[in-house]
Amino acid sequence: MITVGVSLKMYFSHARTLEWAASVAGIARRHPAVRSGAASLFVVPTFPALVPVREVLGDAPVLLGAQDLAWADEGAYTGEVSGAELREIGVDLVEIGHAERRSLFHETDDDIAAKVRAAFRNRLRPLICVGEASRASRAETVAEVTARLDRAVSTAVADGLAGPVIVAYEPVWAIGAPAPAPDEHIVAVLGGIEQHLEGRPELRGSAVVYGGSAGPGLLTRGQGRIGGLFLGRFAHDPAAIETVLDEVAALD
């Protein structure tokens, strides 16, 4: 199965988000790649849109994700959103550790590990973002991102809470760039992460996807060696999502 997801970050108005979600739901209901199980599709809108997007998606085979969560489940944490409430409103997965959260909001490895633990505690699948700040060799990159992944799951593993995750490899130097990282680099790093996960039985069933200026055409060029995409601005037009799903169907 190839995993395809989209984060809207903070680009859309509320009305546009709902229109976009309705279009994606329609694509998911009719597309053979989703209907056959060849592709798994998820969307990650803003917090205010989660409940209405859940309603818009209805019975469409689309998972709903949140862009962040608090490390605590309740309490005097003004402005935070708990994993317990996210689960209550029907969220399936939660994005944790994006490079923008690290750079803009100064999230540390300890913060991210606590959030991963909170996600597992509330039966939310963590979507853990990892990536190197500057270009390095493939071996160096694999070592760096798998070490970051290990730190992210460390607390949950120690507490016996860990389970399947989605690992989004997003090289920081490729986020927002005109084009993604070189194809062979992507394939090599994703393969290294997958191999690392094979040695982590507590994370069995995890998926590995590529983000960082990902868009249509990458799966085709990867020739079945890329297990999924985490799309951003290139999926603001729902037609691009359908194009990516067409690529999945062609690879199946």
189-195: average pLDDT:
97
Q: Which CATH number do you get for residue 135? A: 3.20.20.70
Owning domain of residue 134: 2-251
Q: How far is CA 202 from CA 87, 186, 190, 199, in A?
A: 22, 25, 19, 9
Q: Would you state the pLDDT for residue 173?
A: 83
Helix 109-121, helix 138-158: angle, nearest 10: 50
* Lowest mean pLDDT segment, chosen from 5-9, 136-140, 149-153: 136-140
What b-and-e string marks burial along 155-171, b requiring 16 or more CB atoms within 10 Å of the CB? bbbeeebbbebbbbbbb
Q: pLDDT band at 24, cuts 50/70/90?
A: very high
Whole-number Å distance between alpha carbons of 51 and 64: 10
Whole-number Å distance between alpha carbons of 84 and 69: 9
- Out of 107, 170, 242, 247, pick the active-site residue: 170
CA 131, 135, 138, 143 torsion: positive or negative? negative
Whole-number Å distance between alpha carbons of 165 and 244: 22
Q: Would you state the pLDDT for residue 15?
A: 98
pLDDT one-digit tens code per residue, 40-66: 999 999 999 999 999 999 999 999 999
Whole-number Å distance between alpha carbons of 65 and 193: 22
82, 33 in Cβ contact below 8 A? no
Is 247 an active-site residue?
Answer: no
Q: Would you state the pLDDT for residue 130?
A: 97
Is 98 an active-site residue?
Answer: yes
- Phi and psi at residue 61, in whole multiples of 5°? -75, 70
pLDDT one-digit tens code per residue, 67-94: 999 999 999 999 999 999 999 999 999 9
Whole-number Å distance between alpha carbons of 43 and 60: 12
- Out of 98, 107, 196, 242, pick the active-site residue: 98
Q: How are beta strands 39-44 and 93-96 bridged, if at all?
A: unpaired
Q: How far is CA 194 from CA 95, 129, 154, 199, in A?
A: 19, 14, 18, 9
Q: pLDDT band at 165, cuts 50/70/90?
A: very high
Domain count, the chain: 1
Whole-number Å distance between alpha carbons of 113 and 97: 9
**Percent with pLDDT over 70 in the chain:** 100
